Amino acid sequence: MSWQTVARKDIRDSIRSRGLWALLALFGLLVAVFAYVGWVDEGSAVEPFVMLTAEGFGIIVPIVAIVIGYKAVIEERRSGTIALLLSFPHTRRDIVLGKFVGRALVLAVPILLALGAMFAVVVTLYDNPPVGSYLLFVGLNVVYGVAFLAIAIGLSMVLRSGRQVTAGAFGAYIILVMFWDALITVLWRFNPPNLQLPDWALLVQLASPVESYNRIVDALFDLEPGLTPTLSSAEAPWYVGPEVAFVVLMVWIGLTLGLGYAQFRRTDL
């Protein structure tokens, strides 16, 4: 037995869960809403539709990922089933890797189905849609969701009670998705946001997974950077590029899982 067994069990449990089907329904509703609101007239430009979709998914995908991931380990510890899992030839690493892979696949299903349906909308309603960029956009949303899934699972490994994990996971969502820009403003001594950020503050702002997601979307569809005029300048720092933004997302995945596992491995269960 190995991590594949744990992953298969998580997938089977998710298929029987009403929560997954509720997620599919939610994303299906989003497809309909974005298609209706984003389409202006036949043959119009696809960019407003993409921007609307990215704004919606940028807010919703993280919370879906957190809901899927925040109970991954703490629930096994609270119920005592983690001792049963470890009584088989599983290691703690197998449990963590299996939980992560299984729930990442569960998360990918509604995202891929929703964006697949949106792809049909794009090629039907818009002239000369950027198919290659859209397919990369689909993959980006999966990676973006997995970054928040890793954060949730990492907290599930580190914290000791369900209440702490719940507060930590949804607190992370509020800080990273809703209030990160406000945090940078506070760090920058309340300077007006329309002024150019110093390099250190810009670097911190770009470290957010949400901003990394937005930067890559801007690059895929040649949209104007929405963060600050500095990003469209020829003198923009090297770290504002979409390649660095993708690395930032991968660092969020590796770092949160790595730190969480390091603590989980030493924890007395």
Q: What is the pLDDT at residue 113? A: 85
Q: What is the mean pLDDT of the chain?
A: 81
5-52 pLDDT, tens per residue?
Answer: 888 888 888 777 777 677 767 777 776 676 666 554 555 677 777 888
Q: What is the pLDDT at residue 248? A: 94
Question: Where does the pLDDT of residue 186 fall: very low under 50, low under 70, confident under 90, or very high at 90 and above?
Answer: low
Q: What is the pLDDT at residue 10? A: 84
Domain boundaries, the chain: 3-266
72-94 pLDDT, tens per residue?
Answer: 888 888 877 777 777 777 788 88
Rounded to two decimals, what is the model's pTM?
0.88
Of 215, 189, 209, give the one whose Cα is nearest residue 200.
189
Distance CA 70, CA 90 (A): 21
Cα separation values, 123 from 128, 220, 251, Å: 8, 17, 34
Q: What is the pLDDT at residue 265? A: 87
Ramachandran quadrant class, 212 (left: phi over 0; alpha: psi -120 to 50; beta: rest)? alpha
Cα separation values, 214 from 19, 44, 136, 242, Å: 28, 23, 13, 9
Q: What is the pLDDT at residue 140? A: 96
The token pair that represents 130 in the structure block = 């950027």
User: What is the percent of the chain with per-residue pLDDT over 90, rounded to a whole number?
Assistant: 28
Residue 227 has pLDDT above 60, yes or no: no
Q: What is the pLDDT at residue 117? A: 81
106-138 pLDDT, tens per residue?
Answer: 999 888 888 888 888 778 777 778 888 989 999
Distance CA 6, CA 21 (A): 21
